[in-house]
Amino acid sequence: MTHRNIVVLTGAGISAESGVPTFRGADGLWEGHRFEDVATPEAFARDPELVQRFYNLRRAALSTVQPNAAHHALAELAARWEGDFLLVTQNVDDLHDRAHADPLPGMGFELIHMHGELLKGRCTRTGLVSDWPGDMAAHEPSPDHPDGWMRPHIVWFGEMPLHMDRIERALAACDLFVSIGTSGAVYPAAGFVDLARRAGARTVEINLEPSLGAGLFDEGLYGPATEVVPGFFAAL
């Protein structure tokens, strides 16, 4: 089967073998809170110290992990693919960014972090996004506005994911959609397979086990991402 326009969606499972915990696995609770109760604008308003600590710990942990074979396989595909290739990640880690920067610098590669990025912060007043590699205080003054505070550049429950127009356009024009390492529990990402199917695309899920939406995909390939992803894309 030949393909021209590819959209790949990744979730926490692609970074699991790098040592980044997933959300809904056995250890998917954080300090006794359901994840859904921490990652909301209401939680941030109620207890900014708790929420900032959650993201500070995860931000600091990024320096201890590296991209794995699945991240590298996608970066290599992006570099050699002659059709359109859009990589959409729900992950807020920077492992896709680093995999790309590493082996094949300067090649065209469109990557969308639809749920934001851990290494960035956003002014609550102006919305300006800036690099933020270190800790953020509970009431971190914004460098952009005297009355603004900094918050993590993260899309919380109830907030609009980023670059949805671009993602929906790419899904409407793709002929291959591959979903890697996501449970299919969170919308709108869980609905991308429907949009791709409506466009007539071949749809493939790669996961350790069938996800909630497994029945919506034409094919499922089950096993660790570092083993399945490189082989699947090498064969294209």
Region from 44-52, 79-87, 136-144, 176-184 binding ligand BJW, contact rule CB under 6 A: 176-184
3-state secondary structure the chain: CCCCCEEEEECCHHHHCCCCCCCCCCCCEECCEEHHHHCCHHHHHHCHHHHHHHHHHHHHHHHHCCCCHHHHHHHHHHHHCCCCEEEEECCCCCHHHHHHHCCCCCCCCEEEECCEEEEEEEECCCCCEEECCCCCCCCCECCCCCCCEEEEEECCCCCCCCCHHHHHHHHHCCCEEEEECCCCCCCCHHHHHHHHHHCCCEEEEEECCCCCCHHHCCEEEECCHHHHHHHHHHCC
Q: Which residues from 44-63 bind ligand BJW, rule CB under 6 A?
A: none
- Taking CB under 6 A as the rule, does residue 176 contact ligand BJW? no
Q: Which CB sits closer to ligand BJW, 175 or 203? A: 203
Which of 106, 108, 187, 235 is the binder for ligand BJW (CB under 6 A)? 187
Region from 76-84, 104-112, 158-166, 196-204 binding ligand BJW, contact rule CB under 6 A: 158-166
- Taking CB under 6 A as the rule, does residue 183 contact ligand BJW? yes
Which of 181, 192, 196, 216 is the binder for ligand BJW (CB under 6 A)? 181
Spell out the residues 6+ positions from residue 172 whose beta carbon is closer than 8 angstroms to its own.
195, 198, 199
d(C-alpha 130, C-alpha 8), whole Å: 26
- Taking CB under 6 A as the rule, does residue 164 contact ligand BJW? yes
Q: Which CB sits closer to ligand BJW, 175 or 213? A: 213
Which of 49, 135, 209, 218 is the binder for ligand BJW (CB under 6 A)? 209
Q: Which CB sits closer to ligand BJW, 121 or 175? A: 121
- Taking CB under 6 A as the rule, does residue 17 contact ligand BJW? yes
Q: Which residues from 95-114 bind ligand BJW, rule CB under 6 A?
A: none
Is 113 a known active-site residue?
Answer: no
- Taking CB under 6 A as the rule, does residue 157 contact ligand BJW? yes
d(C-alpha 106, C-alpha 65), whole Å: 23
Residues labelled catalytic: 115
- Residues of this chain that interact with ligand BJW (CB under 6 A) are 11-13, 16-17, 22-25, 36, 39, 90, 92, 115, 154-161, 164, 181-183, 185-188, 207-209, 211, 224-225
